[in-house]
Chain A
Amino acid sequence: MRIALFVTCLADTLFPEAAKATVRLLERLGHEVVFPPGQTCCGQMHVNTGYQAQAVPLVRRHARVFDPYDVIVAPSASCVGSVRHQHAMVARRAGDVRLASRAESVAGRTYELSELLVDVLGVTDVGAYFPHRVTYHPTCHALRMLRVGDRPVRLLRAVRGLDLVELPAAEQCCGFGGTFAVKNADTSTAMLADKMRHVLSTGADVCTAGDSSCLMHIGGGLSRLRSGVRTVHLAQILASTERDRAVHERAELVVRS
């Protein structure tokens, strides 16, 4: 299958390993991945911070860039949520009905990684190997906006060598929330403190999720505490195999000191 990668601005800029892993994984499963170069950002930051008018050109760009593709994937539930639940609304409020219908059409073909794997490609065992104790944090937009349910957990359970431990109070927000973490940094930190306490209580050495943004937040806190627990995007775990882990892992998964 020919799959267009919606890389997301955050993964592109700060977490390219999550995006590269998405490419490696899908190619390993026998699919062709293309990267439409005109893409930048879905505009979620603007919409959620109160700048909907400025998001209109970004919505237009996104819809134009991805319209030619039948299947689009992003390694982020939040950005897929933005495409599915905000793009048409932003277009409609700007009075652009044609853009709204184009955005809706693109949204209907856009999948978060675990949705693509389980629902579209019909796989739960992707042949991965990741010999670590792992806990999974369901991000708010995966859980409540996209309703990905247990798809990520089913994928993780099929990973060889992986010891999956349940995260207490998993459904509570980690406190990121985009600009919320800046505008309400104290409250965000209080939420993060509880999330980290739960992550540490599992004894896991890796905390995973389907969103680089939430992982940046949780990982930033765990790093500040020198906790020795690292955050790894779901795509990176699913892309890991026995053959390449020795080569890749040390380089990309060093615990920051």
Chain B
Amino acid sequence: MTRTFLGMPATAPKGVGQLRGAEPFPAAARRALADAQLRRNLGHATATIRAKSGAVIGEVPDWEQLRAAGSAIKADVLARLPELLEQLEAQVTAAGGVVHWAADANEANAIVVDLVRATGSDRVIKVKSMATQEIGLNEAFESAGIVPVETDLAELIVQLGDDRPSHILVPAIHRNRAEIREIFLRAMPGVDPALTDEPAVLAAAARRFLRQAFLSTPVAVSGANFAVAETGTLAVVESEGNGRMCLTLPETLITVMGVEKVVPAWRDLDVFLQLLPRASTGERMNPYTSMWTGVTPGDGPQEFHLVLLDNGRSAVLADEVGRQALHCIRCSACLNVCPVYERTGGHAYGSVYPGPIGAVLSPQLTGVADNASLPYASSLCGACYDACPVKINIPELLVHLRDQAPHPPGESAVMAAAAYAMDHPALFAAAQRATRLRRLTGRRGQALPPPLSGWTAGRDLPDPPTQTFRQWWASR
């Protein structure tokens, strides 16, 4: 960081990147829920991944111990993050890489754009990366006249469709193959007009398009799943091999990594490389694991830059309860099991981090006031906590963040009145009896006033009983 830094760590800046939605979750969700195709695509895709992941997790007898180990390693990382990052910097530098520190999205974008400009290229190929989506790097490239080409198949679909990712792992989960065919026909240069919607045919079309980019672009940008402090090694796991192309073919490689991705030792990968594929894609092992340490003369990129990104992470770290959100290894298991995500999809969350983890991570990165509706985008059913391979207690975090969220004044008054009555049994009993008055309003008087009217729009209220339990008890 180039500035002297005093006081509380800053949250992610406004006006850059994609951590804040244009509207609150309930409004965005309402629109998504009306999209029948979206509901069908998501229901099918999440059910498929859930079944696949559940089966391969079931094969591992020590899954719970692995989860505990993953959680413990991440807790250790967060407890001594500065020390590990400095160790990583020293090791990467010793291996011929260059380390840059970016306090926020603006700094990171400026660093990466300058590095690309210095190469003279007006095009970059990109490995699928959440960090670069978070900071809006593609938009920064476009303003600088640099063309970014997403090479992950799903990210390519999103990019060609002028769309936004809606899932951490499967960014085009909201699209089915018929829609993907249409996007390719419309936006992929040189595509065969006889393209069908067979998955193999669609993949082959993307392959032809991407090969051209791999062989002609001298700069690549990636994220990182892990960085090993003791050796200075970066790791990217993927399924397609397109990441491997980007990481090995170009002359220059620039990796943007959230600071929490560092792990202390090489052996820690043993735990995460077992947890991540089973929890995310439902594979026993991901097809491609690429690892690199600085620069190797005559082999692979001859220039390597590592950009260490904060962008609100230090602020998350400062919250003793909230910091466990930084354990996240971006597997997206919580999205796949979430009954809210399954119905609304990712765009409703407004941030590149959707679903349960997004509902606890985005508000912390931006400050809760800027994403105040997200901690409420959950029924607290707890499925996410059970699914999380690094045991992030997402329901606990949601409740913790709700306590920090600004509350509507009307609601605050009602909650205060309720709390007062509930601490005064006689008043409480009187309030209970008052619910019976609704009997007088008649059978069709079942609609409640706003803000409760949303509930009665789709459900009948029960008839209030003639007697509360405590009245019955007293009369026994």
**B465 touching A16 by the CB < 8 A rule?**
yes
Mask: chain B, 378-398; 1 = CB below 8 Å from A; 0 = not: 111111011000000000000
**A181 touching B467 by the CB < 8 A rule?**
no
Report how far A52 CA is from B422 CA in the complex, Å: 14
Instruction: Known A17-B465, A46-B419, A57-B419; judge A186-B473 contact (CB<8 A).
Output: no
Across the two chains, which residue of chain B brings its CB closest to A231? B462
Instruction: Known A20-B472, A180-B380, A184-B377; judge A220-B465 contact (CB<8 A).
Output: no
Please classify how large the interface on chain A is, using the bins under 10, 10 to 19, 20 to 34, 35 or more.
35 or more
Across the two chains, which residue of chain B brings its CB closest to A57? B423
In the assembled complex, A162 has its CB within 8 A of some CB on chain B: no
B41 to chain A, nearest CB (A): 15
In the assembled complex, B376 has its CB within 8 A of some CB on chain A: yes
**B463 touching A40 by the CB < 8 A rule?**
no
Mask: chain A, 166-206; 1 = CB below 8 Å from B; 0 = not: 00000111011111111111111111100000000000000
Across the two chains, which residue of chain B brings its CB closest to A141? B382
Q: B381: which A residues are within 8 A, CB to CB?
A: 140, 144, 172-173, 177
Instruction: Known A182-B452, A190-B33; judge A15-B25 contact (CB<8 A).
Output: no
**B415 touching A46 by the CB < 8 A rule?**
yes
A187-244: which residues lie under 8 A (CB-CB) from chain B?
A: 187-192, 216-217, 219-221, 223-224
In the assembled complex, A45 has its CB within 8 A of some CB on chain B: yes
Please classify how large the interface on chain B is, using the bins under 10, 10 to 19, 20 to 34, 35 or more.
35 or more
Give the dominant DSSP class at B's interface: helix
**A187 touching B343 by the CB < 8 A rule?**
yes
Across the two chains, which residue of chain B brings its CB closest to A14? B462
A210 to chain B, nearest CB (A): 15
B287 to chain A, nearest CB (A): 31
**A175 touching B339 by the CB < 8 A rule?**
yes
In the assembled complex, A245 has its CB within 8 A of some CB on chain B: no
Report how far A106 CA is from B239 CA in the complex, Å: 50
B55 to chain A, nearest CB (A): 16
- The 8 Å CB contact of A191, one of B343, B382, B473, is B343
Q: A49: which B residues are within 8 A, CB to CB?
A: 402, 411, 415
Q: A183: which B residues are within 8 A, CB to CB?
A: 26, 373, 376, 451
Report how far A58 CA is from B462 CA in the complex, Å: 26
In the assembled complex, A30 has its CB within 8 A of some CB on chain B: no
Report how far A142 CA is from B55 CA in the complex, Å: 24
B414-467: which residues lie under 8 A (CB-CB) from chain A?
A: 415-416, 418-419, 421-423, 425, 428, 432, 435, 451-452, 454-455, 457-465, 467
- The 8 Å CB contact of A224, one of B29, B344, B459, B464, is B459
Report how far A192 CA is from B459 CA in the complex, Å: 10
In the assembled complex, A37 has its CB within 8 A of some CB on chain B: yes
In the assembled complex, B211 has its CB within 8 A of some CB on chain A: no
Residues of B that sit less than 8 Å from A by CB: 25-26, 29-30, 33, 39, 339-340, 343-344, 373, 375-383, 385-386, 399, 402-405, 407, 411-412, 415-416, 418-419, 421-423, 425, 428, 432, 435, 451-452, 454-455, 457-465, 467-470, 472-473
Q: Can you show 7 pairs from A to B with CB atoms below 8 A apart? A: A12-B432, A19-B469, A48-B380, A50-B404, A55-B419, A182-B454, A187-B26
